[in-house]
Structure 1
Amino acid sequence: QDATGEAPSEHAPPRGDEADAVATGEAAETEKPTATAPSNAGGPTPPVVEAPPEEADAAERPAGDARIEGTVLRAGDRTPVAGAQVAVAPAPQGSRPGRVRKKSYAPREDPPWEVVVTTAPDGTFAVPDLPAGLYEVSILSPGFETATYVERIEAASKLSVRYYLVPLPSNPYRTVVRERGSEREEVARRRISVEEIDNLPGTQGDALKALQNFPGLARSPFGSGLLLVRGAAPDDSAVFLGYHEIPQLFHFGGLTSVFNSDILSGIDFIPGNFDPRYGDATGGVVNVEPRAGRRDGYHGYIDSDLFDTGALFEGPVGKGSFVLSARRSYIDLLLPLVIPDDAGLDATIAPRYWDYQALFDYPVDGGNLSVRVFGSDDRTKLVFAGENDDPEDDRNRFETTTLFHRADLVYRRKLGGWSFLVTPSYRYDFSSTAAVGIFRFKLAAHTFSLRSEIERWVSKRFAVRFGTEIATGQATIDAEAPPVPTDGEGSSDTTIATVQKIPFASLALYSTWTIRPVPRLWIYPGVRLQLYDQPDVRATVDPRLRMAVDVADRTTLKAGVGIYSQLPSVVEWNPRWGNPRVAPERSLHTSLGVAQRLPYGMDLEVTGFFKYLWDLAAPSDRLVLRPDGTFGPESFASTGVGRIYGAELLFRKNLTKNLFGWLAYTILRSERRDTPDAPWTLADFDQTHILTLVAVYKLPKHWQVGARFRLVSGNPTTPVVGAVYDADSGSYIPLQGKENSDRLPPFHQLDLRVDKRWIFRKLMVNAYLDIQNVYNRQNPEFVNYSFDYREKSFIPSLPIIPSIGLKLEF
């Protein structure tokens, strides 16, 4: 294949200017591949028609003893193309063997006869009983450039070929992750196709970062990737990967997610009113499903940019498949090279991250067994320069470590109308923080979990799902910290230190019914019963109800109401720092939305929501009798309440022809108060207006450009109204005003991305330039005060970040 995007047949001799891209060689007999192409490989394909060859006029076709057979593959990654039409006819006079590259506008006569066959699921075809001679072979398939070759067939011979079709830059088909009916309908479920994930600007092709462009998700500080759903705190939402929760979304600074996006079959973002399958969350849910490895051959890639390098390799194993992937950053290796020792910086930072994934799928006993092992490791070290220049001195450094490793088994089977799921999992988590020799916190946890489900469609109008979720384990906490002074008080020399081993366990039983009383109405009642044992046995019952009605052919009305529960953080219920009597936090979700399908591949969705929260753990200085029989401060009490309300709009142009993108807008208000009679205050992550515009356009010659613009209200802040000088410490103690009564300036940023792809016969090369914050806007993230708190300045967000990457796929 050359720079024009043409891919000749495997045996055709190349031209001189394409010898570097095409293997040479005479025609050779090749074995048929036995693997089956995945349904989404190369885009959806029309069904394969099992029929004998079609001939224009069989009577005029002379009999022969030659045969042409071969395989049609997608150029670049060698994916079999199923359902392609292969037409074989006598070549026009004057034709020469090889690829027909130039279009002829002169009128041409119809061939005396023609044979048309359809490729099988593995891309193979065969045309027997041909007489010797020159033949014109044309291959046509939706979403690919039409290819035409002239082949010479000798008498009593068999010609084995491989044809490589170049995918069109604007594929008229798109991968659909799930269709309606395959999952319980949520009021607002945001879905994104795999192809869209690869093309979004400002995300480096990362699936979870792409979700941050949807309505309902607030902007996180410094692009850190915190999951801020509809005004909720980050810990109020959950991310599930393969039926089990993962502890973190992103590596250091939100640069990329901890799981390779190319191993995902799709992702769902549900900002509220989610199914009873998901629990221990009062905000929203992100559900991520890994895919099985490809079985149509061995494939992989190497992907490098300015931050990290990743590699993937996958292929068949017997009747199953495997995927291996790994990624490692090199920011810690490059920074010393680009920042000289005499740069005058008073601190140096050395972040490093890596992750790995190993997946294995195999059919077992009428079902499918999946084995998944993956993990992530992040370490950051900030070393300060000063009078004490010893880098090993704990007083000169700030270090963080976050890692986890997980191993899953997943077994799925359908039997007699029932669907069964069993998946045990083990996860090890470790996190630590050490700061300037006065603060230390380490948390290590071992978690064993088990989920099982059974599901059955009893009739066309009724289905039921029952499930259980069990989690148990032990956490070890090792912490040391100075006390936190209150307003106007000086510091203390007392240090708080503890080492604790904390066992934990939870059990959940849940069920969801699907009821379709009439063809246009879907009703989903459900309930989740959750038992906790931290620190005492607690139980919650969460009834939930959702519905969807097609009020017109292109209009769907959705509504939901339900109760959701979550255990407070370990700091809030731990007897050492918190109050073991705090109750699970509760939330009422209500939402109403309408989805309208418009012409020209456009969709409009509007959703209104209201959430009320109660039993929130709030700070309390009341003296109480503690469980150990001593008097002390209550620390936390379940007296907090909250309310969140707003609306979301999503106007989306689907991936058709050359353009796709969307406009996402959210308006919300999130308020909290520590006691029912206290005044309402804005929540820490209240962002009144969130506007995101995304557009990607596909150009000829496999060029692509995209842009993203964001405009977001600033986060609330608490102003400092004065300061008190502490003679003992020689520093000023700030006096704060009303909590979150001030707000940072608005955030706005433009991101651009340019892609160029070269498609060779067995290799694809993709080069891209991704620039975040193109005009280098200094967006304020936090307020920085002078030593005496008389003057203030802003700590800006990330500056302009260009990233150049190269991806080699095979």
Structure 2
Amino acid sequence: MQPKTSKQAFPLVLIMCFFFSLSILGQTEGKKSLFAVIQQLEEQHNIRFSYVPDEISDISVTVPEKTDSLQEVLAQLNNQTSLQFTLLDDRYVTVVSRQQKSNYCGRIIAAETSEPLEGANIVVKNFNFSTVSTAEGFFSIPRQVPSEGFITISYLGYHTINLSINQLTAACPTIMVHSKSTALDEVYIQTYLVQGVSKKTDGSITLNTENFGLIPGQIENDVLQISQALPGVESADETISNINIRGGTHDENLLLWDDIKMYQSGHFFGLISAFNPDLTKQVSIYKNGTPPRFGESVSGVIDMRSKNTVTEDFSAGVGLNLINGSAFANIPLSDKASIQISGRHSLSFLETPVYNTYSERIFQDTEITNIENPENETQITADEDFNFYDFSTKLLWDISEKDAIRVNFLTIDNSLDFTESIDGSNQSKTSELQQRSLVGGVSWNRNWSDGFETTALLYGSYYLLNATNKDLFTTQQQFQENEVLEDGAKIDSRFTISKKIELQSGYQFSEIGIGNTQDINIPRFRVYNKEVLRTHSVFSNITYTPNQELTVINAGARASYFEKFDKLLVEPRLSVHQKLGNGFSVETMGEFKSQTTTQRIDFESDFLGVEKRRWVLANDNNIPILESKQASLGFGYNKNNWLITLEGFYKEVSGITTSNQGFQNQFQFVRATGDYTANGLEFVFNKNARHFSTWVSYLFMKNDYTFETLIPSEFPNNIDIRHSATVAGSYSLNKFKLALGINWHSGKPYTIPVPGEEIIEVNGQDTIQYDIPNNERLPDYFRADFSAEYLWGISQNVDAKINVAVLNLLNKENTLNIRYALDTDENNESRINQVEEISLGLTPNISVQVLF
């Protein structure tokens, strides 16, 4: 019987095992990941959970298949996990670990839209803790933070909020933040050539030095040197003081430092920028389609801005290269105020190889090197003492959430003492040259409401150039002085009418006084001239984005009334950007502009032969107001890190004079008024990868003068460089950067004497007889540059940045200019001496900066 009983029991055991397995399997299948359960509940109940992903990633739970009670599900989740699920309202549920249940927390939403803000920065002041808000706007702060402390909540495009921590509770109160009224300046090319350079829909190119890439030859973030890497922006003589934008002279550009016009831009006679890169955070460059708020320019605008937010933490840096030493500091004064300080000073006392190379470049064509008459038998010993410095400071004070005061000050100084001595005698004389700028301003920004903002600025800009030239062989002394004083006020308003329309309007008053003095003791001669001009300008611009920023239209005008001349000029401005889809876009721009200040350029006839540019003011007679017209049409392709742009332009400038064009031929001492016309094409090809960027740019431009009273009346511009190209690449990996590039352009024009009849007699004096003006071309220019940068983290709070740069890597001898001068031979007969200006040779430099 036993076997029979066993056979009957076997099916029963199988059935029991089967149901037991189903029971276990059912229990297993009932377990789901908490993440999946949250997603299911969000869809089923139309709610949103706020949680930290890492805290729920490994948790599984069992929940009923169907339930209509959300509270019941949350209660089960509370029982099955170490997390606390809290239903804040009918929309949001917070999920925190039980040990953090009593943490401070809050939820950040936009006041205008009631939408949560993800990624808002929350910083606990005077305590080493910071966090960011979640996708639903939530954040939490541990209880270890003192309740009497304060937090700062900031989000790009929104006003910063300061709160006491005891205002936060475990119930996570809602914190409303209001948006700022900001310009609709959408960036449509995020990385243009290198990181930190972007192009906006209004046609401007912006340089942001906060996280900048590397440009070949760059030793530091000198924005005026970096700007020359852009197509259409170059310098015909390698200097900062002669930046040519689409064929214009340097004085035709408007240079602004924190919205104040600068009349000096360089150190070391233009080889180094006068603006300390440590505090220059953003630069906007306009070649066309300039916003109406900018006046006093017929070519480009370079708008430089220092850091404009109150510093909460102390930061500073000291640096040293083979030209100068520098230091800067951002110092918090309180929760609402801070101060910025920066300064540089030359290291001329060391006479490093770079300093000597720069000196040879500047003084090679002057009396200092005696090059015009190298056979002079008198042995002269020359000693030059050159130095420069700049110092700037800025006070930032946020009086309230709606009011901000800014106070700026900047001073720039260049000085040169040149001592000549005759060997074997006690005879020596010292000549002096000094350039100095002082600028200052006070601004008040007020946010009256979410869509209305005003800024008022009172400013002053002072520039002084004085020179004393003493002749070693006579008692003659020549004194020259150029003094510029501008003071004024600007009021800007910005009104957001709707999401599609924004209006900017304002008023500017300026009073400019320019004095020029020339005093010679033998023969006695003194001339002093001073002009003063007051100008009232009103401007308005409307930004219209009709279809989700596929189309961006900026249209406006500037009207200027010149009191002295009783003259009104109205200048329309236009910029239209249209996205065509699939990465393609088209833009067109146009502008009318004017300016009343220009520079008179003097060469060997003045101080030691060192070129100086003296500012003069329009008198509506022999120095007219400059006026320009420009139009351009461009096409672009920007997709999958490929960038191609092609832009054609036409530019006409009237009212120029021969004295501000730097002629060194038969027109050097002739006074005439005319115009120039520049037209051409700019092309850019740029490929960006994760660590690498390479670009090719090319500019074709035809630039011609027209002077009706000269013979001939039409001839090439002195800076008519027909072809210009750059091939460059940069590489970055972690904290290391490399850049290598080649610059090439065709030679600019110059004038030669008439072959066989070089010297003629005019009024009893020998004079050079020149051939057709600007009928010859200099040899092509070619230069290769290299840069490297490494950021070394010395400690948690201290970094060292090391830069190495080599200009003219191949030591190519480029001729920048050729002119002709008369001297005498051993028989006291007149002869012509050809003087060539040669570019910088191989110039290595190294910079070390410690940041803390």
On the 8 A contact 2:380/2:422 being kept in 1, the answer is no
Cα distance 1:740–1:240, how it changes in 2: closer, same or farther (>3 A)? same
Q: Distance in 1 between matches of 2:616 and 2:302?
A: 32
Deviations 1:148-201 (A, max 9, x none): xxxxxxxxxxxxxxxxxxxxxxx9999868885xxxx43x42223325646323
- Tell which has more relative contact order, 1 or 2 (C-alpha 8 A, sep 6+): 1
Deviations 1:502-553 (A, max 9, x none): 333222111112233444322222111112245x333211122221111224
57-66 or 266-275, which deviates more: 57-66
Aligned position for 1:16:
none
Aligned position for 1:326:
343
Aligned position for 1:805:
847
On the 8 A contact 2:597/2:616 being kept in 1, the answer is no
Q: Which letter maps to 2:440?
A: A
What pairs with 1:277-296 in structure 2 (closer than 5 Å)? Answer: 277-292=293-308, 295-296=311-312
Q: Which letter maps to 1:801?
A: T
Deviations 1:402-458 (A, max 9, x none): 111111112222223212111111122111233444543212233212111112121
Which of 698, 704, 708 is 1:671 aligned to?
Answer: 704
On the 8 A contact 2:219/2:846 being kept in 1, the answer is no
Aligned-pair CA distance for 1:352: 1.1
On the 8 A contact 1:659/1:697 being kept in 2, the answer is yes
Is the aligned partner of 1:691 residue 2:725?
yes
On the 8 A contact 1:222/1:253 being kept in 2, the answer is no
Aligned position for 2:518:
479
Cα distance 1:738–1:386, how it changes in 2: closer, same or farther (>3 A)? farther
Cα distance 1:681–1:794, how it changes in 2: closer, same or farther (>3 A)? same
Q: Distance in 2 between matches of 1:727 and 1:381?
A: 36
Aligned-pair CA distance for 1:218: 2.5
Aligned position for 1:409:
442
SS at match of 1:448: strand
Is the aligned partner of 1:605 residue 2:605?
no
Aligned-pair CA distance for 1:747: 1.0
Cα distance 1:791–1:770, how it changes in 2: closer, same or farther (>3 A)? same
Deviations 1:108-127 (A, max 9, x none): xxxxxxxxx95579xx9866
On the 8 A contact 2:219/2:847 being kept in 1, the answer is no
Which of 391, 399, 410 is 1:374 aligned to?
Answer: 410
Aligned-pair CA distance for 1:719: 1.0
Aligned position for 2:656:
616
Aligned position for 1:466:
505
Length, aligned pairs only:
639
Deviations 1:197-253 (A, max 9, x none): 463231322122100111011223143441211111111111122222111222124
Q: Distance in 1 between matches of 2:141 and 2:503?
A: 47
Cα distance 1:618–1:539, how it changes in 2: closer, same or farther (>3 A)? farther
Aligned position for 1:239:
255
Which of 203, 220, 223 is 2:218 aligned to?
Answer: 203
SS at match of 2:251: helix
Cα distance 1:338–1:260, how it changes in 2: closer, same or farther (>3 A)? closer
Deviations 1:643-673 (A, max 9, x none): 110011122345x621134322211011112
SS at match of 1:221: coil
Q: Which letter maps to 2:625?
A: P
Which of 787, 795, 807 is 2:837 aligned to?
Answer: 795
Taking structure 2 as the reference length, the TM-score comes to: 0.67
SS at match of 1:647: strand
On the 8 A contact 2:760/2:769 being kept in 1, the answer is no
512-521 or 738-747, which deviates more: 512-521
On the 8 A contact 2:799/2:851 being kept in 1, the answer is yes
Q: Which letter maps to 1:275?
A: P
On the 8 A contact 2:597/2:618 being kept in 1, the answer is no
Q: Distance in 2 between matches of 1:430 and 1:575?
A: 13
Is the aligned partner of 1:507 residue 2:536?
yes
Aligned position for 1:111:
none
On the 8 A contact 1:230/1:271 being kept in 2, the answer is yes
What pairs with 1:109-128 in structure 2 (closer than 5 Å)? Answer: none
On the 8 A contact 2:505/2:539 being kept in 1, the answer is yes
Is the aligned partner of 1:440 residue 2:466?
no
Q: Distance in 1 between matches of 2:850 and 2:760?
A: 61
What pairs with 1:218-257 in structure 2 (closer than 5 Å)? Answer: 218-257=234-273
SS at match of 1:736: coil
Cα distance 1:345–1:764, how it changes in 2: closer, same or farther (>3 A)? farther
Is the aligned partner of 1:755 residue 2:777?
no
Aligned-pair CA distance for 1:66: 11
On the 8 A contact 1:670/1:683 being kept in 2, the answer is yes
Aligned-pair CA distance for 1:83: 8.1
Aligned position for 1:113:
none
Cα distance 1:470–1:350, how it changes in 2: closer, same or farther (>3 A)? same
SS at match of 2:351: helix
Q: Distance in 2 between matches of 1:507 and 1:391?
A: 55
Which of 387, 392, 395 is 1:352 aligned to?
Answer: 387
On the 8 A contact 1:589/1:610 being kept in 2, the answer is yes
Q: Which letter maps to 2:519?
A: E
SS at match of 1:459: coil
Q: Distance in 2 between matches of 1:581 and 1:409?
A: 36
Q: Distance in 2 between matches of 1:538 and 1:252?
A: 39
SS at match of 1:262: coil
Aligned-pair CA distance for 1:294: 5.8
On the 8 A contact 1:447/1:472 being kept in 2, the answer is yes
Q: Distance in 2 between matches of 1:172 and 1:674?
A: 42
Which of 198, 202, 206 is 1:191 aligned to?
Answer: 206
Q: Distance in 2 between matches of 1:665 and 1:303?
A: 35
Query: Which one has the largest radius of gyration?
Result: 2
Q: Distance in 2 between matches of 1:251 and 1:50?
A: 56
SS at match of 1:260: coil
SS at match of 2:481: strand
Aligned position for 1:643:
677
Q: Distance in 2 between matches of 1:201 and 1:68?
A: 55
Q: Distance in 2 between matches of 1:389 and 1:673?
A: 53
Q: Which letter maps to 1:354?
A: Y
Aligned position for 1:626:
none
Aligned position for 1:769:
804
Aligned position for 2:634:
593
Deviations 1:720-760 (A, max 9, x none): 2244377999x953211121111111111111112222212
What pairs with 1:125-136 in structure 2 (closer than 5 Å)? Answer: none
Q: Which letter maps to 2:746?
A: S
Aligned position for 1:104:
none
Identity %: 17
Which of 281, 285, 289 is 1:269 aligned to?
Answer: 285
Aligned position for 1:74:
none
